Amino acid sequence: MQHGIKRVSLSAEAKRLKLEKDKSKIAHYKQLTENIFSLRNLQTYTVESLKETTQILQINPEFYTMWNYRREIFEHLKNNIPVEDYAQLMDNDLKMLMVILKRFPKVYWIWNHRRWCLFELVKINRVDWQYEYAVVSKLLELDSRNYHGWQYRRFVVQNMQIQATTKAAPASKNEESLVVLGINIEEFKYTTSKINKNFSNFSAWHNRSTLIPKIYNLYLQLEAPSEKSPDVYDIFKSPRSILTHELELIKTGMYMDSEDTSIWLYMWWLLTEKFFTDELRKEDGAYLAVLEEQLANVEELNELEKSDHIYHWDNCWCLKTIILVKGLIQQEHVKTNKSSALLTQDIKNHIQALIEIDPLRKGKYLDQLEGKASIIPIL
Amino acid sequence: MSFPNPATSVKLVLLGEAAVGKSSLVLRFVSNDFQENKEPTIGAAFLTQKCTIGERTIKYEIWDTAGQERFASLAPMYYRNAQAAIVVYDITKPASFIKARHWVKELHEQASKDITIALVGNKYDLVEDDTEEESLRKVSVEEGKGLAEEEGLLFFETSAKTSYNVNDVFIGIGSKIPEAASAGPNQIHQTNNDGRIDLTSDPNNRPRAAGDCAC
Amino acid sequence: MMSRTERRKSMAERRPSVSYTPSVIPHLAGLEKPQEPSLKIDQCDVLIMGTGLVESILAASLSWQGVQVLHIDNKNYYGDSSSTLTIDQLKKWCMEVNSGRLQHFQDAQIYIPGGKSTNKFNSKDYGIDLSPKVMFCKSDLLALLIKSRVYKYLEFQSLSNFHVFENDDFSQKITTQTSKEDIFTDKSLSLITKRNLMKFLKFILTDNKDPVKKKILVDNGKVKVQDFLVKQFNLELPQINELVYSIGLCINEGTETREAMAKIKRFLVSFDVYGSFPVMVSKYGGPGEISQGFCRSAAVAGTTYKLNTSLVDYDPRSKIAKFNDGSHVKINEKLVISPTQVPKFLQSNYNEVTENLKQFSITRLITVVRRDCKEWMAEQDSSAIVVFPPHSLPTNNEQSVQVIIQNGNTGVCPEGQSIWFSHTSEQDLNRAKQDLESAYEKMEASLLREANADLEGAFDDQDFVLSAQGTPVFVNSFKLGESLQNFVPKEKLEIVCKVGYVQKTYANPDLSNIFHATAEDNVVLKNVADAENDILFSNMPSAELSYDGNISEAKLIYQKITGSDEDFFDVDFEDDDDDYDNNDPHDSSNLGSSTTLKSSSSNALASDNEDVIVDSSDDDDHNPFGADEMEL
């Protein structure tokens, strides 16, 4: 069986074949679309019409009208078939969605339809959130920074908690907190592992920021908090211990990649979040001490960055952070009447320097200099 | 409405003297309306064809000799991990039957011990209308059967031209191949137990390279 | 009609180069036309002698472009100097080397201890590569294997662990400092070191066209890499050694920055392409196995194969080649001859063209041991690399000793055993042998030390009672027996077979005369006198541990034959695998080729617009490493 091919004689023919194939693909797609629209106009809600939408959605999952029609079909079928069969239909849809998601992980409509299917299963008491949890973990393994994936993960976790607190009817408030805390601790560890893998991950840091107050409050509700995940409890003893732990974590990230926005924004959140600052302000000078320490760190890093730079420029993120931290320090001084103005000459000089190295945001910096924009962003 | 099992891949090698119809036999198998919607494909490597036998789907990876047998230059790679082999001869050519014996021997020496071998006497169409006095047939059914029994092979007489018995060969082989441990439905992982790496997995969907930071 | 006297157009003339479009091999093409059954071949375009890796790639590339190739080998197996051999084949091979019949090899020694009863083995269970190699996950050869579909004939396994020997000890796998995750989580590194390492990694992964990077590399290109890393990145010695000798696989202290940077980069970009490992090995053998794959591909495209065949005469005027089996074939274009297959009548021509070329020695020591060496390998792996950087051995080695370890799970030897492939580019052959032996002893000692540690840990206080004299007496003899079974006496590691030999090559260990070949330094570009430019000689394999350089060489010959390498393997195969249909849900009619359809992200809210159907041709994600990387 030889298939040695002379290139010259074949390339033209091959091109024609390919073109033909493409043409037929497009024709097929058009035909499908037309078919489905006419089916919908005739209010056809059958398994066959379902198949048609499957075909088209596998080609183009962004075609949201098709998802709508698909749900309409399900709504009608639901009333006409046994609940077992409907559950099976939903399961099959989840499988199909998994296949499509692997190919199109960033299409909102697929995630949206998945949520819908799960709520349908909730209605008939057939939902398996644990399985969903595994599914989303797997998808995030493929792309750990997929925003939709993280969004969906929070959705699943939230429902796992609801299920844990309603379905099982726990004996006591303490037990209920234990279960919910357990779920949230798992999530916290999950963000840690994703951050360790690659700390440049907005979604992971964001998830972490929502988990921290939650876990802390859940620990507060426990009768014997130190017995639940002692290693995690060590971090969560007080807002202060959490802050120390987190600042240490980002310090490494900062040194490794001073250009990474996600690290800096998380740091800004840590230094300005009420959850931490309220606690720190209870103790005289504690907040200022933290700010001074961070300022020293960032200034040290900035010096290293400057010595590496060909023109010895400041590092943009370091400088921005120096301005913020100095601003926060001034803010404290203003509160205690040690100082009257937020914008010291020192801070103004830094902003001037920023204008040079980050001319794109010149307007914003000029506003800050004139006091029209705050140097302390609302995060 | 159950979710189909993933197909078991089976490497099948073809052997036999030139012009006994090895290619035609396979061509008939892969391009027949054997199974709807299952288009046979050919690339640079080998032919593939899916074949459903009962509950199982077998995906044949059919290796032809690509002419490398002509000067006894088949590489060890050809026999390696072959789970099935078809040794073809021409029932109108005795020499091709002798050659078939040779290939069976070669398979016993080179291939894995549990390989499933089918002995196939091709060109049945040439003897279909034969009369007893005047027959083109030079290798009797008994001779073929005899060799098959001796060596523990499946035996068929086929016609690639009329497609007589062709599918039966592949179904026969498929039903004799032991069921491999089937993989799980979620085949996201690119390595299996053997540590084999799936080079077809799209590197773009993989997590970004660790050192490959946002720079 | 072409008259008989009209000159047949040469290959270069016949090739349309301007309006060239890549061909697509259509579905079921060629199947209808079975090959002529005749065993007789009376002509071919190109005769290739030797089925080594480069020659096999060449054969496949030519025949997929429609060139009629006759590919022969004077051995009865595939692979030539890059073959994978059984122990019996290796024995014969050594005899051949020592009888002087195999050019470019010398000093072959094979040692098989014990008699048939004490050292039982089945020769066929072994696949020993004459020039073993590993494949980076992002490399030109891998890209070609995928494009040509030759990968379908092969199985690849991961190799994660690179060990570096220093201060009389093996450090843990060196990959600990190459990924962002490892640097981030490593508690032993200071913040400053972490920062410097990251700066360096970022720098190396920056596009070479970046003006800042370009300037730094141009300014420092010829500086020794060690000095560069200290000066530019403040890196410290342990990190430098790992980067240069393990990750970069550089072989001596003279390595210049531009070469080292390219080599370190190939490791880093290979990491995480298919998983968290930088290289792979092909199962059942390395270059020998891949050669077979390309030969099969060539055969599928029409190349004729004849093993056990050698050229006995060639007449440049009539272009008739005569072979040892008495057959003769007209060669329309060229003859490509591998260095080990040069016929006697062309020996003087070969000597002439190689006269002024610099020759390099590669000394190899291959040992098959009865240990699986799993302790050196990552969990999912069956292979590892061990590097002895310059001056790390008691012999004060000038050149690195590089070792590939592969155990039974890679199919090159039985379960429970492993093969240690070591080599060095030390040019003083006595020193080279000493370096290799010394490296072997260090590895052996390391293994035995671990075995002893096992024994010590196997007993606790309860296994001993005190004798009347107060000395501990061993009482748990059952436990001892159990442990002794696993105990390897200190003096010996059980060896199945040990092979040493020296290989000569005109390929520079740094591959400079492969990536930037000139008629002065590469035999391929030499013109053979008295043969009307019909004859080309190829190179022996290089000392390079990876497959780098092989494609460049194949292209070099391809270009010499056809005039240009622009259509080297420029063939598209129709997608012949529909991986999605394994997962197709029940109610989808099989969409077949729909896997090539992708939604375009710009049409986020697209409805019934057919623009969303974009036929995505395979983006070539595998930028070949090689010449362009070295060009800075």
CATH number for position B117? 3.40.50.300
Pair (C379, C340) in one structural domain: no
Q: Judge whether C52 and C542 are in contact, CB under 8 Å.
A: no
Strands C311-315 and C472-474, bridge-based pairing? unpaired
CB contact under 8 A, C608 and A197: no
Pair (C297, C331) in one structural domain: yes
The reply to whether A154 falls in a domain is no
Range of the structural domain that residue B15 is part of: 8-186
Pair (C496, C517) in one structural domain: no
- Number of helices (H) and strands (E) in chain C: give both, helices first: 17, 26
Pair (C517, C445) in one structural domain: no
Shortest CA gap B195–chain C (Å): 6
CB atoms within 10 A of CB C187: 5
The reply to whether A86 falls in a domain is no
Least confident of C14-23, C139-148, C338-347, C455-464: C14-23
The closest of C39, C131, C43, C42 to C81, measured between CA atoms, is C131
The closest of B111, B67, B52 to B86, measured between CA atoms, is B111
Chains interfacing with B (3 or more CB pairs < 8 Å): A, C
Pair (C98, C214) in one structural domain: no
Cβ-Cβ pairs closer than 8 A, A with C, add up to 157
**CATH number of the domain encompassing residue C421:** 3.30.519
Between CA A101 and CA A150 the distance in angstroms is: 14
Least confident of C132-136, C389-393, C467-471: C467-471
Strands C360-369 and C43-49, bridge-based pairing? unpaired
Mean of pLDDT values over C515-520:
94
Q: What is the pLDDT of residues B40-92, one digit of tens each?
A: 334 456 788 888 888 788 889 999 888 888 787 889 999 999 999 999 999 99
**CATH number of the domain encompassing residue C183:** 1.10.405.10
Instruction: Give yes or no for residue C29 having a pLDDT over 70.
Output: no
The closest of C377, C470, C389, C462 to C159, measured between CA atoms, is C377
pLDDT band for position A94 (cuts 50, 70, 90): very high
The closest of B121, B175, B112 to B148, measured between CA atoms, is B121
Instruction: Give yes or no for residue C473 having a pLDDT over 80.
Output: no
Least confident of A227-241, B70-84, C112-126, C601-615: C601-615
Token pair 């044949």 is at which residue? B60
The reply to whether A293 falls in a domain is yes
CB contact under 8 A, B195 and C179: no
**Which residue has better confidence, C27 or C10?**
C10
Chain B residues within 8 A of A141 when measuring between CB atoms: 188, 207
CB contact under 8 A, B23 and A1: yes
Give the per-residue pLDDT at A1.
30
Chain B residues within 8 A of C283 when measuring between CB atoms: 196
| A residues 87-106 lying closer than 8 A (beta carbon) to B | 88, 92, 95, 98, 102
What are the structure tokens assigned to C479, written together? 């436990």
Q: How far is CA A149 from the centre of its chain?
A: 7
Shortest CA gap C229–chain A (Å): 14
Pair (C204, C324) in one structural domain: no
Q: What ipTM was reported for this prediction?
A: 0.83
The reply to whether A265 falls in a domain is yes
Cβ-Cβ pairs closer than 8 A, B with C, add up to 186
DSSP output for C20-67: ---EEE-TTTTTTSPPP------EEEEEEE---HHHHHHHHHHHHTT-
What are the structure tokens assigned to A201, written together? 């991950």
Total residues belonging to chain B: 215
The β-bridge partners of B89 are: B121
Pair (C341, C300) in one structural domain: yes
CB contact under 8 A, A260 and B42: no
Instruction: Give yes or no for residue C592 having a pLDDT over 90.
Output: no
CB contact under 8 A, B213 and A257: yes
Range of the structural domain that residue A289 is part of: 254-379
The closest of B184, B192, A252 to C181, measured between CA atoms, is A252
DSSP output for C155-184: -EEEE--EEEEETTEEPSPGGGGTSHHHHH
**Which residue has better confidence, C536 or A337?**
C536
The reply to whether B170 falls in a domain is yes
Q: How far is CA C316 from CA B197, B214, C337, C339, in A?
A: 48, 59, 15, 20
Give the per-residue pLDDT at A17.
67
CB atoms within 10 A of CB C529: 12
Least confident of A3-17, A42-56, C159-173, C564-578: A3-17
The reply to whether A297 falls in a domain is yes
Least confident of A236-250, A258-272, B169-183, C280-294: B169-183
The reply to whether A273 falls in a domain is yes
Judging by beta carbons within 10 Å of its beta carbon (0-12, 13-18, 19+), is residue C28 exposed, middle or buried? middle
The reply to whether A125 falls in a domain is no
Judging by beta carbons within 10 Å of its beta carbon (0-12, 13-18, 19+), is residue C27 exposed, middle or buried? middle
Last residue of a domain, one of C219, C244, C270: C270
Share of chain C above pLDDT 70, in %: 76
C468 contact partners, CB below 8 Å, separation of at least 6: none
The reply to whether B197 falls in a domain is no
Instruction: Give yes or no for residue C449 having a pLDDT over 80.
Output: no
Instruction: Give yes or no for residue C387 having a pLDDT over 70.
Output: yes
Shortest CA gap A191–chain C (Å): 14
Between CA C548 and CA C537 the distance in angstroms is: 20
Mean of pLDDT values over C575-604:
32
The reply to whether C580 falls in a domain is no
**CATH number of the domain encompassing residue C317:** 3.50.50.60
The closest of C355, C337, C354 to C345, measured between CA atoms, is C337
The closest of A372, A250, A370, A231 to A321, measured between CA atoms, is A250
Instruction: Give yes or no for residue B183 having a pLDDT over 60.
Output: no
Best of C23, C573, C589 to substitute, by most chain A Cβ atoms within 10 angstroms, is: C23
Instruction: Give yes or no for residue C632 having a pLDDT over 50.
Output: no
Between CA C287 and CA C52 the distance in angstroms is: 8
Q: Could you give the number of structural domains in chain C?
A: 3
Between CA A222 and CA A269 the distance in angstroms is: 27
Mean of pLDDT values over A295-312:
92
The reply to whether B76 falls in a domain is yes
Give the per-residue pLDDT at B194.
59
Pair (C471, C517) in one structural domain: no
Mean of pLDDT values over A247-252:
94
Shortest CA gap B171–chain C (Å): 20
Pair (C288, C308) in one structural domain: yes
Chain C residues within 8 A of A64 when measuring between CB atoms: 605, 607
| A residues 243-272 lying closer than 8 A (beta carbon) to C | 251-253, 255-257
Shortest CA gap A1–chain B (Å): 5
Last residue of a domain, one of C483, C505, C527: C505
Instruction: Give yes or no for residue B211 having a pLDDT over 70.
Output: no
**Which residue has better confidence, C345 or B43?**
C345
Q: How far is CA C259 from CA C76, C210, C228, C555, C632, in A?
A: 39, 18, 12, 21, 10
The closest of A206, B208, B66, B43 to C273, measured between CA atoms, is B208
* Partner residue opposite B71 with nearest CB, options C276, C307, C621: C307
| C residues 8-47 lying closer than 8 A (beta carbon) to A | 16, 21-27, 29-31, 33-35
Which segments of C99-224 does DSSP mark as H helices, in order? 140-147, 180-185, 191-205, 211-220
The reply to whether C197 falls in a domain is yes
Mean of pLDDT values over C420-441:
97
Q: Judge whether B58 and B174 are in contact, CB under 8 Å.
A: yes
φ, ψ dihedrals at C414, nearest 5°: -70, 160
Last residue of a domain, one of C522, C545, C571: C571
Give the per-residue pLDDT at C241.
85
The reply to whether A287 falls in a domain is yes
The 3-state secondary structure of chain A reads CCCCCCHHHHHHHHHHHHHHHHHHHHHHHHHHHHHHHHHHHCCCCCHHHHHHHHHHHHHCCCCHHHHHHHHHHHHHHHHHCCHHHHHHHHHHHHHHHHHHHHHCCCCHHHHHHHHHHHHHHHHCCCCCHHHHHHHHHHHHHHCCCCHHHHHHHHHHHHHHHHHHHHCCCCCCHHHHHHHHHHHHHHHHHHHHHHHHHCCCCHHHHHHHHHHHHHHHHHHHCCCCHHHCCHHHHHHHCCHHHHHHHHHHHHHHHHHHCCCCHHHHHHHHHHHHCHHHHHHHHCCCCHHHHHHHHHHHHHHHHHHHHHHHCCCCCCCHHHHHHHHHHHHHHHHHHHHCCCCCCCCCHHHHHHHHHHHHHCHHHHHHHHHHHCCCCCCCCCC
The β-bridge partners of C72 are: C49, C306
What are the structure tokens assigned to C433, written together? 């042998």
Mean of pLDDT values over A185-205:
92
CB contact under 8 A, C292 and B191: no
Pair (C462, C527) in one structural domain: no
Pair (C91, C194) in one structural domain: no
Q: What is the pLDDT of residues B98-155, one digit of tens each?
A: 999 999 999 998 888 889 999 999 999 888 877 766 788 899 999 999 999 999 999 9
φ, ψ dihedrals at C242, nearest 5°: -65, -45
pLDDT averaged over every residue in chain C: 80
Q: What is the pLDDT of residues A113-139, one digit of tens each?
A: 999 999 999 998 888 999 999 989 888
B24 touching C (Cβ < 8 Å): yes
Q: Could you give the number of structural domains in chain B?
A: 1
Q: How far is CA C274 from the centre of its chain?
A: 18
* Partner residue opposite B77 with nearest CB, options C153, C181, C275: C153
Q: How far is CA A367 from CA A324, A344, A370, C624, in A?
A: 15, 15, 5, 50
CB contact under 8 A, C574 and B78: no
Between CA C119 and CA C299 the distance in angstroms is: 40
Give the per-residue pLDDT at C239.
84
Token pair 């995928």 is at which residue? C146
Between CA A325 and CA A268 the distance in angstroms is: 9
Q: How far is CA A1 from CA A4, A124, B16, C302, in A?
A: 9, 58, 12, 10
pLDDT band for position C157 (cuts 50, 70, 90): very high
Instruction: Give yes or no for residue A7 having a pLDDT over 60.
Output: no
Shortest CA gap C259–chain A (Å): 24
Give the per-residue pLDDT at A15.
62
Least confident of B127-131, B160-164, C192-196: B127-131
Taking the C-alpha atoms of A222, A228, A232 and A236 in order, what is their torsion angle to the nearest 10 degrees? 20
Q: How far is CA C137 from the centre of its chain?
A: 12
Token pair 């926060």 is at which residue? A328
Find the closest chain B residue to C143 by CA distance. Answer: B199
DSSP output for C288-317: HHHHHHHHHHHHHTT-EEESS--EEEEETT
CB atoms within 10 A of CB A357: 13
Pair (C372, C492) in one structural domain: yes
The reply to whether C434 falls in a domain is yes
CB atoms within 10 A of CB C503: 24
A253 contact partners, CB below 8 Å, separation of at least 6: A199, A260, A263, C184
What are the structure tokens assigned to C311, written together? 């050229």
Between CA C537 and CA C518 the distance in angstroms is: 14
Judging by beta carbons within 10 Å of its beta carbon (0-12, 13-18, 19+), is residue C221 exposed, middle or buried? middle
Range of the structural domain that residue C216 is part of: 179-270
The reply to whether C6 falls in a domain is no
CB atoms within 10 A of CB A126: 16
Q: What is the pLDDT of residues C81-134, one digit of tens each?
A: 999 999 999 999 999 999 999 999 999 999 999 877 788 899 999 999 999 999
Mean of pLDDT values over A152-173:
81
**AA identity, residue B116:** T
